C-alpha cells in the first residue's frame, strides 16, 4: 500500500479493531458505515485520468480531477496502487 497517497485518517482506520470502527461510525466524524460487516467509507481522490475499475470502489461523482468514491476499507490498498490516483482524504460526515 502506498500510504503516502492515503490520508492519515484513512490509514488510521486500517489499524482499528471492529469495535473501534463501530465507534468511529457512530461518532460520525468520518463518513464511515458498516454494512453487513464490511466497512464502507467515502473518499475524495485526485486523479490524473480515469480510475480503473476496482472491486469495492464505486465512483459517485467527478468534477475535473477530483473524484468522489464510495469504497470498502479493503479496497484502500488497490485504490492507493492505482496509477492515476493521488491522495484520498476522508470525507467528513455532515
Alpha-carbon distance of 88 to 35, in angstroms, equals 21
Q: Is residue 40 part of a domain?
A: yes
Alpha-carbon distance of 4 to 1, in angstroms, equals 9
Q: Is residue 89 part of a domain?
A: no
Farthest CA pair distance, the chain: 37
Q: Is residue 28 part of a domain?
A: yes
Read off the pLDDT of residues 33-60 as tens digits, 9 standing for 90 and up.
Answer: 888 888 898 888 888 878 888 999 999 9
Q: Is residue 66 part of a domain?
A: yes
| Total domains, the chain | 1
Q: Is residue 76 part of a domain?
A: yes
Q: Is residue 87 part of a domain?
A: no
Per the structure, the complete domain to which residue 29 belongs is given by 3-81
**pTM score of the predicted model:** 0.76
Note the Cα 36 to chain centre separation in Å: 17
Q: Is residue 86 part of a domain?
A: no
Q: Please report which confidence band the pLDDT of residue 5 belongs to, taking 50, 70 and 90 as the band edges.
A: low
**CB 12, CB 20: distance < 8 Å:** no
Alpha-carbon distance of 40 to 56, in angstroms, equals 9
If you search the block for the grid coordinates 475524495, which residue do you land on?
A: 44
Amino acid at each position: 500500500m502506498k500510504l503516502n497517497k492515503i490520508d492519515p485518517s484513512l490509514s488510521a482506520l486500517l489499524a482499528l479493531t471492529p469495535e473501534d470502527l463501530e465507534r468511529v461510525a457512530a461518532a460520525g466524524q468520518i463518513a464511515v458505515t458498516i454494512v453487513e460487516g464490511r466497512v464502507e467509507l467515502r473518499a475524495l481522490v485526485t486523479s490524473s485520468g480515469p480510475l480503473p475499475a476496482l472491486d469495492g470502489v464505486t465512483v459517485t461523482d467527478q468534477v475535473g480531477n477530483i473524484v468522489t468514491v464510495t469504497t470498502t476499507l479493503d479496497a484502500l490498498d488497490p485504490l492507493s496502487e492505482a496509477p492515476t490516483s493521488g491522495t484520498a482524504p476522508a470525507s467528513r460526515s455532515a
